[in-house]
Amino acid sequence: AYDPLDPNGNITIKWDVMSWTPDGYIAVVTMSNFQRYRHITSPGWSLGWTWSKREVIWSMMGGQTTEQGDCSKYKGGIPQSCKKDPTVVDLLPGTPYNQQIANCCKGGVLSSPLQDPTNAVASFQVSVGNAGTTDRTVKLPKNFTLKAPGPGYTCGPAKMVRPTKFITPDKRRVTQALMTWRIICTYSQFLAHKAPTCCVSLSSFKNNTVVPCPTCSCGCKSNSNSSRSARCIKPGTPHLASVFSGSGNDEFSPSVQCTKHMCPIRVHWHVKLNSKKYWRVKVTTTNYNYRMNYSDWNLVVQDPNFNNRTQVFGFKHKLLTPYATIIKFVSVLTLNPHNDGTKPNVIFLILYILFYANLFSFCRLFFPHTLSLSLFLFLTFSLFFFVLYFKSSLSQILNSSANNSDHCTEIPTYVLQRQTWLSLCYQKPLIAFYAYDPLDPNGNITIKWDIISWTPDGYVAVVTMNNFQQYRHIASPGWSLGWTWAKKEVIWSMMGGQTTEQGDCSKFKGGIPHCCKKDPTVVDLLPGTPYNQQIANCCKGGVLTSWVQDPTNAVSSFQVSVGRAGTTNKTVKVPKNFTLKAPGPGYTCGPAKIVRPTQFIQADKRRVTQALMTWNVTCTYSQFLAQKTPSCCVSLSSFYNDTIVPCPTCACGCQSNSSQSGSCVNPDTPHLASVVSGSGKNNFSPLVQCTSHMCPIRIHWHIKLNYKEYWRVKVTITNFNYRMNYSEWNLVVQHPNFDNLTQLFSFNYKSLTPYGSINDTAMLWGVKFYNDFLNQAGPNGNVQSELLFRKDKATFTFDKGWAFPRRIYFNGDNCVMPPPDSYPWLPNAGSRQEVSLFALVIASLVALVFYAHA
C-alpha cells in the first residue's frame, strides 16, 4: 500500500468520543482524504469494523448501517444495528436537517484535497451501547475495512492518540474530545482493479504517424467471456439510447464504444508546435463510456520538462514534487463533460501546454512517461455539477533579514528651569521596569472573587473586574484572565464568560465540566449573547473603558460554578498565579488576598446581602510588558514660523525593517481595499500607511493664534492604521499652562493632578457619538479640536518652545517627540536690531574715513 507519486497519501479515520451515556458513549467519526489526487466516487464509501465486545449502535446521525442484524433480545427501544461487524454508509444529499451533522450527507463521495479540500472530509455520529463508560473500560473496534467503487484500501489497526481539540465557530474557545483513536487506510494498487481503465495514444507535428492505444488494452471484443472484456456498442447501432440504458440505473459496469483498445477513457498527447523558445502540446481526453459521466476528474502526467512549464490553457493545474526539487508531475483538471443520453459520449477536452525549452530534442522528452487518470463517476442520466479546482502556481519564498536591536536615545543634561524644559522632550518612550505609573500612581485593575453560594462539591462565585485606571483602557479583542487552581478544581458551568480551552474531561461520567484544565483562561462573551447566558456587566467582548471616560463600562463580570473544591470558607483554597492579558498594555498581577466579604445592595435599596467569602487580586500596568516599539508620534508647527516639524524618522519603525514596521501600504495603491482586508478580520497587527515615521497614530500640535490675553492651539489626531479603528480613545498631554485652560472645543477634558496642586497634565477624549470614534486610515481617519489658554504674565512666553507640550500619551502609550533643536523657534527681533545698529556704526565710520581723505 505505497504510492510513489503520493507517498504520504492516505485516508485517516478519526473516532472522537464526545460524551458518555449510561451504557456507552457518543462518538463522531471523521474521514479525511489526504490523498493528493485520488478520490472516492459515487456510489461512495462504506466503512466496516468488528466490535471488541457486545456493543450495539443505538442511533446514528449523518450515516446509517447497511444491516440491522438480530435485535430480538431487546425490549422497548430497538438499536439501529446489533451486528458484530456493522457496515456504515453515508446518507444522501437532501437528508432532513435533523438527521445531519457537519460534513455528512454527500452520498459517500470524497474529493481529493487538492481539488476540493472542503469536500475531502466526511463525518457521522454514532451512539454506542453495551460499551465502557470511561476511557479505561472502552475497547477499541478492530478489523476496519474501507471499500470504495474505484480504488481499494488497506486499513491498519486502531491506535489511541491525543484527544482531538475543536475550535468553536467564533474562534474564542477550544473544546476537547474525551477519547480519540485513529485508523489509517492507504491505497492498494493490488486491490484496486484487475484490468486497466484508460490508455494513451501519441502523435506529433513532425511525423504523420499516429500511435494508437495498444490493441486490447482494457479488453478484447472477440473475448466476451473474459474478465478483461466489456460490453461494446457500435456508434451506428439503432436505438442506441435504449441499448446502453437497458440494464438499469444501478449498474456501474462500463458500456463502451467498440474500439480496438476497448478502454472507457483514452488520453491523446499531441506535440503540436515548435517555436524558437517554446514548444506546445495538446492533450485530449475522450470518453468512450456510454453509461458514465466523469465529474471532478483529474489527470496526472509524468514528463521531465514540467519544470519549464510556462502556461496552461483551459485546465487547472498543480505541480507534484514527490522527488523534492525534481518537478516532473502535473495534475491538470477542467470542466466536466456532459452526456445527453442520445449520442455517443465522446467529449474532447483540449489542453494546451507551453513549455519553455532552453535545450531539448525531438525525442522522448516530448511524450509523457506515465499517465494516470482518476475519474469521478456519475450515471448517464444523473444530474452532475461543475467543480473547479483552485489555481495554484509555484510558490515563491521570500527571505528577509530583520534587525531586532533596540536603539536607546541618550538624553543630554540640561538645567531644569521653566524656559529650558524643552531639552527633556526628545526621548523615545521610557521603559519603566516596575508596575508604577507616575501620572496615575493609584491606577490598577482590581479583580474581586465573591463566593455567593455553596454547591455539593464546591461553590458558585461572581468574578468582577474594575478598571481603576484614569486613562488606560482595554480595547478589542478584549481581556483574558488566567489562574492556576490550588487543588484539582474544575469549572462545571459559566455565565457571562467562557474558558478558551476545555481540557481533558475524559474521567467524568454523565455531565461533562465546562473546563478541566489546571490553568484555565477566561474571556468575556460577545455582545448579543442570549439573555439566559448573561449576568450584570458582562458580554462586552472584553472591552473595559477607563474610569474617567466611562465609569459605567469600566466594570466586567462573569459567574463561575466550581467543583471538586472546598464547601466551607476553611476548606476552599485560593487560586494562584493570576495573569491578565490585553491586546495593548501588559499587566502584572499580585497574589490573591482574602478580604472582608463584599456587601451587595438590592435594587430597592432596602436590604444588604453579603458574600460568603471574598478575595481580591490587584493587577497594575507594566510599561515593560506593554510593547517594545512606540505606537504614536508627535509633530509640531506654529503661526510664527513656517517650519513644520514632522515626526522623527523611523519613530515607530522603518520601511526597510519589517520586524518593527510590519506591513506598509501606499495610499495610492490600486485595489487598496483588498490589500487591507486580505489577512482576515481576526488580524489585529497594524497595517500602516507608508510614512517616514511608520507610526499608526500621529498627534499634531499647532500654535494657531495669539491674542492680547489668550493664545489658541489646534490638536489633530491622525490614524495611519488601515486595519484598526480606535473607539473610546484618549489623549494625555503634559503642559505647564493647563491651569489656565479657558475653553475646549469638541473634546472632553479632565485635569490630572499627579503632583498635588500642580495642574500640568490634562486628559482629553472625544465627545460621545460625535468624535469618540477615530476611523481607520483614510479621508475620515482624523479628529481635531482647539484649546484656548489664558496668558499668565508670570510664565507665558513663545520663546524656546515653551508653548509646545512636554509629553503626549495616546491610549496610555508614550508618543515619540521631535528633537528639541528642530522646534519652530520664535524669530528673535532683538538680534536683528543689534545687527542693524552695528551696521549703522560701521557705515558711519566708513563715511568719516572717505570724508577725511577727501
Q: Which element (helix H / strand E) includes 774?
A: strand 773-774
Q: In the structure, what pLDDT confidence band is assigned to residue 683 with cuts at 50, 70 and 90?
A: low
Q: In the structure, what pLDDT confidence band is assigned to residue 545 with cuts at 50, 70 and 90?
A: very high
User: pLDDT higher for 715 or 419?
Assistant: 715
User: pLDDT higher for 769 or 513?
Assistant: 513
User: pLDDT higher for 693 or 242?
Assistant: 693
Span 454-492, pLDDT tens digits: 999 999 999 999 999 999 999 888 999 999 999 999 999
Residue 838 pLDDT > 70? no
Q: DSSP for 283-345?
A: EEEEE-BSSEEE-S-EEEEE-TTGGGEEEEESSEEEEE-TBTTB--EEEEE-PPP---SSS--
Residue 511 pLDDT > 70? yes
Residue at grid coordinates 491610549: 811
Residue 67: count other Cβ atoms within 10 Å of its Cβ: 11
Which CATH architecture fits 632-669+686-822? Sandwich (2.60)
Lowest mean pLDDT among 68-77, 131-140, 614-623, 650-659: 650-659
Q: DSSP for 670-726?
A: TTHHHHHTTT-TT--S-EEE--SS--SEEEEEEEEEE-SSEEEEEEEEEE-BTT--E
Span 98-150, pLDDT tens digits: 999 999 999 999 999 988 999 999 999 999 999 988 888 999 999 999 998 76
Q: Does domain 445-621 have CATH number 3.40.50.300?
A: no
Residue 722's region, left for phi above 0, alpha for psi from -120 to 50, else beta, is alpha
Residue 242 pLDDT > 70? no
Residue 599 pLDDT > 90? yes
Q: In the structure, what pLDDT confidence band is assigned to residue 322 with cuts at 50, 70 and 90?
A: low
Residue at grid coordinates 459515487: 42
Arithmetic mean of pLDDT, 409-421: 32
Residue 664 pLDDT > 70? yes
Domain ranges for the chain, please list them. Answer: 11-192, 198-240+252-379, 445-621, 632-669+686-822
Residue 332 pLDDT > 70? no
CB 285 within 8 A of CB 265: yes
Residue 811's region, left for phi above 0, alpha for psi from -120 to 50, else beta, is left
Average pLDDT value for the chain: 80
User: pLDDT higher for 552 or 394?
Assistant: 552
Q: In the structure, what pLDDT confidence band is assigned to residue 608 with cuts at 50, 70 and 90?
A: very high
Q: Domain 11-192 belongs to what topology? A: Immunoglobulin-like (2.60.40)
Arithmetic mean of pLDDT, 428-456: 77
Pick from 32-46, 484-498, 630-644 the range whose average pLDDT is largest: 484-498
Arithmetic mean of pLDDT, 282-302: 86
- pLDDT for the residue numbered 826: 78
Span 334-369, pLDDT tens digits: 333 333 333 333 333 333 333 333 333 344 444 555
Q: In the structure, what pLDDT confidence band is assigned to residue 394 with cuts at 50, 70 and 90?
A: very low
Q: Does domain 198-240+252-379 have CATH number 2.60.40.290?
A: yes
* Residues 6+ positions from 831 with CB-CB distance below 8 Å: none
Arithmetic mean of pLDDT, 842-851: 63
- R_g of the chain computed on alpha carbons: 38
Residue 432 pLDDT > 80? no
Q: Give, rounded to a whole angstrom, the gap between the first and last alpha carbons of the chain.
A: 120
Single-letter residue type at 504: D
The cell numbers describing 606, all together, are 432596602
Matching fold, domains 11-192 and 445-621: yes
Span 189-213, pLDDT tens digits: 665 556 788 999 999 998 899 999 9
The cell numbers describing 509, all together, are 461520567
- pLDDT for the residue numbered 58: 96
Lowest mean pLDDT among 205-209, 274-278, 314-318: 314-318
Arithmetic mean of pLDDT, 282-296: 86
Residue 224 pLDDT > 80? no
Q: Which residues of 702-741 are buried (b: 16+ CB within 10 A; e: fewer)?
A: bbeeeeeeebbbbbebbbbbbbbebebbbbbbbbbbbbbb
- pLDDT for the residue numbered 809: 92
CA gap 323, 476 in Å, rounded: 47
Span 49-81, pLDDT tens digits: 999 999 999 999 999 999 999 999 998 889 999
- pLDDT for the residue numbered 435: 54
Residue 142: count other Cβ atoms within 10 Å of its Cβ: 13
Q: In the structure, what pLDDT confidence band is assigned to residue 674 with cuts at 50, 70 and 90?
A: low
Residue 681 pLDDT > 80? no
